[in-house]
Structure 1
Amino acid sequence: MEELSYSFDIDLFDESGNLVTLYIDKETGITIEEIESEQHYQITGIMELLDGSLRIYPRLQSDLVRVYPPGLYIQAQPPTTAISGDPFNVIYTVINRADKNDTNLLVQAPLDPGLEVVEILNNGRLEGNTVMWEIAEMNGEGEQINLEFQARLQNSTEYVSFGTYQVTSDNYPEAAGGIETYTFSGESVPIWAVQGKEARSPYVLSKITTEGVVTGIFPELEGFWIQELNTDNDPTTSPGLFISTGAILPDVAAGDLVSVTGRVREAFQETQLEISTPANVSVIGSSFIPIPTALDPPVNDTESQDYYEALEGSLVSVTSSALVVGPTTRYGEYSLVLPKHNLARVWQGQDHGMLIHVDDGSNEIHENRDNQEIVTAVGDTVSGLVGVLSYSFGNYKIEPTAAYAIQNQLPEIKPLETLESGSFSIMTWNVENLFDFTVPHPSSPPLPKVSEYKLSISRVAQTIQAAAFPTVIGFQEVENLEILEDIAADPLLAEYDYQAALIEGTDSRGIDVGYLVRGDQAAIRATVQYPAPGNITSRPPLMIKVELEGSDASLYFLNNHFTSMSGGEKATEPRRNAQAAWNAEIAQELLLEDPGAFLVVMGDLNSYYGSLPLQTLEETGLINLFDWLEPEERYSYVYQGASQVLDHILVNENLEAYLVELSVLHCNADYPLPLSDGEGFIHKSDHDPVIGIFVIP
């Protein structure tokens, strides 16, 4: 589940990996706070096949209906707050979701010591310290019964809990319980209770009042954080909370003790208290700011999630000199690890719960680093960091509340050596959103000015120069053939007579795969696009047949840009595997027609080293050239602090025999965005080029 600026996106998939995305336009008024992961739902809406993927557009809140497994269900519903000594009603709702009647139901509700029973209704009785009801028979198909007693808080009781109640029956002798709830004395609910013991607040969509001291104010995030000074002793609950204010913030300052009334939300899957007006916030005093918790997350991913959830909204710190393992992104975020882990890099495929993510306190998306105050690259160090712990887009992250120290390292990028006589090279590179300055143009990135486009072309050419002018370059994310021709015409490349090849696909953003081939070393003899069966991709494999100077051998190249993992790795992997199988089928047909040929499958396969799509290709006899590198050298991309391989070159056995070296030109993935007028080639893209060097057969 993901909340975007104008919509909610929810991914539904079955055990076979078939994916359907729900696109919920916020204009419909539908909320997703009560939708939970790992549960089943019945969805009604308009279905569309968009870019090879199914989408459903629900229209009404009633279009999203949770489907419950058969069984007995029970939930306590006491008031959130009560005045000590005044009576209030406690309701237990029992639901029979089985398809048949049930008999001899027994409901047991133990009493909190701070609770005094005034009256028991619905023929219930008090046995010892437990209120009990017996129900002779209950219909199925969702029938529900409310059971009730009246009680009051005893003097000096701060709160009472309702957490060990249960129901049993003839059909369901194993007791079923419900979510623990509380009634608090007075008018305020403590922050620890609002946060709850789980990722979702037990008070979601409820209107409550709470109190805390202001710890951080972020106008660009449209809100501020508070933290309670006295909290419970449960290590699974957090004492901090984000107050979502909208564009107009109330007049508060760090250190103010405030009372806030609002509605509990799970926005971006972060527990928040949303106010409707600044008048919902009252300054009731002043206080010291709590001492931040020094972060030390565990390595295990599951344990790390629990660790961070218990600190969500709290003031935290990184006091030691932590290492940057993921550079500052266009979202203003970067990733750290503590020195205790003795790591230079964090790898995909391994637990990385120890990662600490840092944000810039805004929602701004940057196209360059001109306005980014914090800029880090992999290898930099950070110390003295203090901030509040937020959650958005799948990660807990620090929103800094004060300035801190950054030690930047000078980039060290070693260009590849010039090709020796009798050699040729192959490069694959996702050049990231390489569009021209004319319309049509996608909504993102912005349409470049002519000068910006020319600079971009120059930076691509400089990257090709640093890669030692490869013989065959397979690009991904290029808009059209004319762009490739502009690259070839750059003064740095002109003497190499690069020839361009590209056939338009049907991608909704207009990004395609294409080639540049050095005319002084090789010639393109054929260009063929292979539209995939079953609409499995809008970016079909593009094949070129190449003949090298001084060789009679034929080289076939299949350039690809597989489906991204934005819908989740497991959910989208079946589609990438189908795309890999389509490449394998094409490759086998080409080699059947020309058994002695050399064959290359390459591109941004959006698949990790050793993943199922790569296995599918390798099962046909293709060899992944990353096999030639040591594990600590295998990366072409860094995502949220985890180094990984997405860009691959696979060759048949005939060609692998002539391989001299595989190199990755690490000029992009480890570095932040460039300046708008930056003329160097560092971070022209978010992917590193991968280059294979061969002896000419």
Structure 2
Amino acid sequence: MPSSVVPRTTAVAAVVAAALAAGLLAGSASASAADSASGTATAADTSQVRIHDIQGSTRISPLVGRQVADVPGIVTGVRTYGSRGFWFQDPEGDGDRATSEGVFVYTGSSPTVAVGDRVTVSGTVTEYVPGGTSSGNQSLTEITRPTVTVVSSGNEVPEPVTVSAWSVPSAYAPEGDPAAGGSINGLTLAPRAYALDYYESLEGANIRIGTSRVVGATDPYAALWVTVKPWENDNRRGGTVYGSYDSQNTGRLKIESLTPLAQQPFPKANVGDVLEGVTEGPLDFNQYGGYTLTARSLGTVHDRGLEREKTRPQRDGELAVATYNVENLDPSDPQAKFDALARAVVENLASPDILALEEIQDDTGAKNDGTVSAAGTVKKFTDAIVAAGGPSYEWRGIDPENNQDGGQPGGNIRQVFLFNPERVSFTDRAGGDATTATAVVREERRAALSLSPGRIAPASDAWEDSRKPLAGEFTFRGRTVFVIANHFGSKGGDESLLSHHQPPNRSSEVQRLEQAQVVNAFVKDILAVDRKADVLVLGDINDFEFSRTTQALTDGGALYPAVKSLPRSERYSYVYQGNSQVLDQILTSPSIRRFSYDSVHINAEFADQNSDHDPQVLRFRP
């Protein structure tokens, strides 16, 4: 995956300004940095400058903005695509664990050097922030606008540092400096104490890993994730589980190849596979995952035969309710995608009685033409389910207002209920539309919805540019069951786990917290009328089972996150940057005391995906 294309000069200026404001640059270096930020780097006495002097012992180079001359080293990696340039390394270290001996040289065009060349490099020391400064990402120390002289060729590459379970600290990151807005940029690196400091102390250096387990499947951009700590929060399917904000998985490392895909295809791997042998190359830092081993030599993937799970069918008297994010499904998608999703419903989910779908797009998909109906999308899907041997599902939903619910412009994603009319009936109460709120009413001492299907508080600011919850009233064997389908606001805008702010800023949580409070209040309205009402809140909650969002949903004991009934190692529905984590949930009201819950792993762990989410199924006896 190519690095961000934010202009180097813009990034440099912003980092320098931030560093100056935080007091991280001092003396003549500050003045020089300010000059560089304005595009007029000044000369300095660089006769003795080595790479470790450029890298320094913090995340910000002490020479940022300075021109350096004739810095010696040996080329360890060349990148001819994306962010073009090369890494070189000083074979003579300074013995300081905090200062890296390697650095990236940004050339902007395909470099003319080769691995093993002994070179001298002159240029400007910069701090480049992949994704821009608003991302909160750490910066990458570089030499830009270089002049490169090849002294000799065919030299031995400096011995790589072995990154292993024993070398990576168990603590993740130091607490950010309050005086610097929570930033760790100005803190002296402690590579023996913190994992992020350890990786930063090797930024640009030649590293290697031995045989390691894959914890993030090969993605469309030719990258995968491994862990060098095989026991760290592992699960039976080979992943590494993200269980709390305070227990980061420090052994995760992203792997890319320096060889262009046209010359050598990147291996396809699933979670639980093993990258065997030695993988070696420079350690990069990029926007799409942070510290990345850019492999000059890549190990071999050993297929461990991970299989897609199948849940059991519901028993007599059990109601099976499921949720599935089908990832921007619209009629223009290949029939193969519809068929694969349909087979999953029938074969892997055992044809649940009620299925809440997220990310159903309108009938013209992401074409911004004012279409809001999704009847064609749903028909194509339900027809595919029948063709796969499943039931003839009926469906209910509410068309959103055009471009008011987020997602791809013109796509108008929404939640939809599918239900098997041979097993369950839907209580229709007319009047629900995009802007009219359903309410809880009393009918013969029992709770009911004024509109079914209906949207919950669609005018609330909590749902600005986000999907509104869809509420429906179902009947199973004479018992009413309320189902509320959700797709909360995304995590877009949050800082990554590798942010220079520690802890990172999770700005998107604010909206999800408000959304959870609205849904929680609605459930409490139902329970105020009938404390024994069966209520299920489900969908793509876009947040963890330990998050403030989930805490707000469960406030007052109104709901219980059913995923917590699973062993900790089995709590996940999504794999992101090598972390197996919960985003999709089903929550139950207090009357639902006994149930069977299954997170059905059919997508998130695989390189070949029909969606990036795993569906969830809950079975109980109303």
Instruction: Answer yes or no: is 1:628 the counterpart of 2:565.
Output: yes
Alignment of 1:417-566 (within 5 A): 417-437=312-332, 452-465=333-346, 466-480=348-362, 481=374, 482-490=376-384, 491-492=387-388, 495-504=391-400, 505-509=404-408, 510=411, 511-524=413-426, 525=428, 526-530=452-456, 531-551=458-478, 553-566=479-492
Question: Match of 1:440?
Answer: none
2:256 to 359, 362, 366: 359
Separation in 2, partners of 1:533, 1:340 = 46
CA distance 1:314–1:75, shift in 2 (3 Å): closer
Report which of the two has the higher share of strand. Answer: 1
Q: Which stretch of structure 1 is more off in the superposition, 288-297 or 488-497?
A: 488-497
1:305 to 177, 184, 196: 196
- Paired positions, count: 511
SS in 2 for 1:351: coil
CA distance 1:198–1:521, shift in 2 (3 Å): same
Contact 1:360 / 1:374 at 8 angstroms: preserved in 2?
no
Separation in 2, partners of 1:607, 1:595 = 27
Q: Tell me which amino acid in the other structure corresponds to 1:547.
A: F
Question: Match of 1:216?
Answer: 77
Instruction: Answer yes or no: is 1:385 the counterpart of 2:253.
Output: no
Separation in 2, partners of 1:353, 1:545 = 43
CA positional deviation for 1:626: 1.4
Separation in 1, partners of 2:561, 2:25 = 55
1:587 to 507, 523, 529: 523
SS in 2 for 1:653: coil
Percentage identity across aligned positions?
Answer: 24
- CA deviations over 1:554-580 (Å, ceiling 9, x no partner): 222211111222322632222211110
Alignment of 1:57-72 (within 5 A): none
CA positional deviation for 1:190: 1.1
Separation in 1, partners of 2:25, 2:157 = 41
Contact 2:102 / 2:202 at 8 angstroms: preserved in 1?
yes
CA positional deviation for 1:634: 1.0
- CA deviations over 1:413-453 (Å, ceiling 9, x no partner): 3312222232221111222232342xxxxxxxxxxxxxx52
SS in 1 for 2:297: coil
1:640 to 558, 573, 577: 577
Question: Match of 1:323?
Answer: 213
Contact 2:15 / 2:127 at 8 angstroms: preserved in 1?
no
- CA deviations over 1:212-271 (Å, ceiling 9, x no partner): 111111211311111111121221111111111113322x11111112222222222211
Separation in 1, partners of 2:407, 2:216 = 30
Contact 2:467 / 2:489 at 8 angstroms: preserved in 1?
no
Instruction: Answer yes or no: is 1:608 the counterpart of 2:588.
Output: no
Instruction: Answer yes or no: is 1:314 the counterpart of 2:205.
Output: yes
- CA deviations over 1:528-587 (Å, ceiling 9, x no partner): 123152254423433332333432x22222111112223226322222111100111222
CA positional deviation for 1:185: 6.0
1:35 to 10, 15, 23: 15
- For structure 2, list consecutive stretches of 5 or more residues without a partner in the other structure: 35-42, 131-138, 174-193, 363-373, 429-451, 495-504
CA distance 1:587–1:36, shift in 2 (3 Å): farther
SS in 2 for 1:489: helix
CA positional deviation for 1:647: 0.9
Instruction: Answer yes or no: is 1:661 the counterpart of 2:542.
Output: no
Question: Match of 1:226?
Answer: 88
Contact 1:484 / 1:500 at 8 angstroms: preserved in 2?
no
Separation in 1, partners of 2:21, 2:59 = 21
Contact 1:601 / 1:650 at 8 angstroms: preserved in 2?
yes
Separation in 2, partners of 1:508, 1:609 = 23
- For structure 1, list consecutive stretches of 5 or more residues without a partner in the other structure: 8-25, 41-65, 80-89, 94-181, 438-451, 675-682
Instruction: Answer yes or no: is 1:374 the counterpart of 2:267.
Output: yes
CA distance 1:486–1:36, shift in 2 (3 Å): farther
Q: Tell me which amino acid in the other structure corresponds to 2:589.
A: N
RMSD: 3.1
Separation in 2, partners of 1:430, 1:203 = 48
- CA deviations over 1:612-636 (Å, ceiling 9, x no partner): 1111111232111113211121111
Q: Tell me which amino acid in the other structure corresponds to 1:300.
A: A
Contact 1:241 / 1:313 at 8 angstroms: preserved in 2?
yes
Separation in 2, partners of 1:593, 1:436 = 41
Instruction: Return the structure number with greater relative CO, CA threshold 8 A, min gap 6.
Output: 2
Q: Tell me which amino acid in the other structure corresponds to 1:298.
A: P
Separation in 2, partners of 1:508, 1:665 = 25
Q: Tell me which amino acid in the other structure corresponds to 1:563.
A: G
Contact 2:213 / 2:272 at 8 angstroms: preserved in 1?
yes
Contact 1:312 / 1:390 at 8 angstroms: preserved in 2?
yes
Separation in 1, partners of 2:380, 2:350 = 19
Separation in 2, partners of 1:30, 1:528 = 48
CA distance 1:589–1:556, shift in 2 (3 Å): same
2:67 to 207, 212, 231: 207
CA positional deviation for 1:593: 5.0
Separation in 2, partners of 1:402, 1:78 = 38
Separation in 1, partners of 2:203, 2:483 = 49
CA distance 1:372–1:460, shift in 2 (3 Å): farther
Alignment of 1:108-123 (within 5 A): none
Alignment of 1:233-248 (within 5 A): 233-248=95-110
Separation in 2, partners of 1:564, 1:545 = 23
